[in-house]
């Protein structure tokens, strides 16, 4: 297997979990009666930021807003592609104010922001793979938003139907290993409808297939820079597969965020210039 994979420096946007909590239930992972250790969460989040910077990546941060406990999940705020920002419109009313907070940051940073007309949860359901944008639907982002994304970016959008509520966002069931000319992905097939599984098999015949055990430990809520894969330490079988394919797993424990249905990728918005 290749041992010469080259990482590409990335620019990430994150949000400190200063107000992180599980105050409501909008996915099967969330139980408001389960206590959250905020100090532990902040320590885990800081370890992720340190890991990104140690591997040469740039990290920007948006100021957290009180009463928005899920704002830490920056990936849901937008899709940034070619320096253009397609914003968010959250399914859950509790999260809708996050869109304005992130829009404010993007505008201050010099970006114009498109506001979608349909429910769309950013990189939670929109995954660029070089030639395409893979787009999840079934629980959050709507097919109408997929059409908006295609019209806005002029990039073909491939709709994928999610069928398991535990994998309510595309980024809980799939992540991109390489997004260059020979793009490849890792994913959990059973999170998708039969037709969507066929589409993924056709587009990515060499994809890394994850087990349910790895998916349930948020192993697919990972971030790759083309060589290093920032991944849940509990996704051991998936990590072994990645090593065999020439990648270098970088374990980062974000288990406290699993209580809200999130992990590494959920906490990471990529700014693609």
Catalytic residue among 169, 228, 258, 267: 169
* Cα–Cα nearest to 224, from 7, 2, 3: 7
228 is catalytic: no
pTM over 0.85: yes
pLDDT tens-place string over residues 43-96: 999 999 999 999 999 999 999 999 999 999 999 999 999 999 999 999 999 999
Backbone angles phi, psi at 177, to 5 degrees: -85, -45
Catalytic residue among 57, 120, 228, 266: 266
169 is catalytic: yes
pLDDT tens-place string over residues 180-220: 777 999 999 999 999 999 999 999 999 999 999 999 999 99
Residue with tokens 């260059």: 180
Question: Quick one: pLDDT at residue 3?
Answer: 61
What is the percent of the chain where pLDDT is above 90?
96
């Amino acid at each position: 297997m290749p041992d010469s994979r080259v990482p590409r420096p990335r620019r990430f946007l994150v949000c400190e979990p200063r107000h992180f909590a599980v105050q409501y239930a909008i996915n099967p992972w969330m139980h408001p009666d389960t206590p959250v250790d905020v100090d532990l969460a902040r320590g885990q989040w800081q370890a992720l930021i340190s890991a990104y910077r140690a591997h040469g990546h740039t990290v920007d941060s948006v100021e957290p807003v009180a009463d928005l406990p899920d704002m830490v999940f920056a990936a849901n705020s937008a899709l940034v592609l070619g320096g253009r920002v397609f914003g968010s419109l959250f399914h859950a009313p509790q999260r809708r104010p996050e869109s304005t907070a992130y829009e404010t940051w993007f505008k201050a940073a010099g970006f114009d922001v498109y506001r979608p007309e349909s429910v769309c949860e950013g990189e939670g359901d929109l995954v660029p793979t070089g030639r395409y944008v893979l787009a999840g639907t079934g629980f959050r982002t709507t097919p109408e938003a997929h059409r908006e994304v295609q019209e806005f970016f002029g990039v073909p959008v491939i709709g994928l139907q999610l069928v398991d509520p535990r994998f309510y966002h595309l980024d809980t069931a799939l992540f991109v290993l390489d997004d260059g000319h020979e793009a490849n992905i890792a994913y959990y097939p059973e999170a998708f409808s039969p037709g969507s599984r066929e589409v993924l098999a056709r587009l990515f015949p060499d994809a890394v297939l994850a087990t349910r055990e790895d998916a349930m430990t948020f192993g697919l809520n990972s971030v790759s820079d083309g060589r290093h894969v920032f991944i849940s330490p509990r996704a051991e079988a998936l990590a072994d597969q990645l090593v065999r394919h020439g990648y270098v797993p970088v374990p980062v424990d974000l288990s406290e965020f699993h209580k809200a249905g999130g992990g590494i990728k959920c906490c990471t918005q990529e700014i693609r210039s």
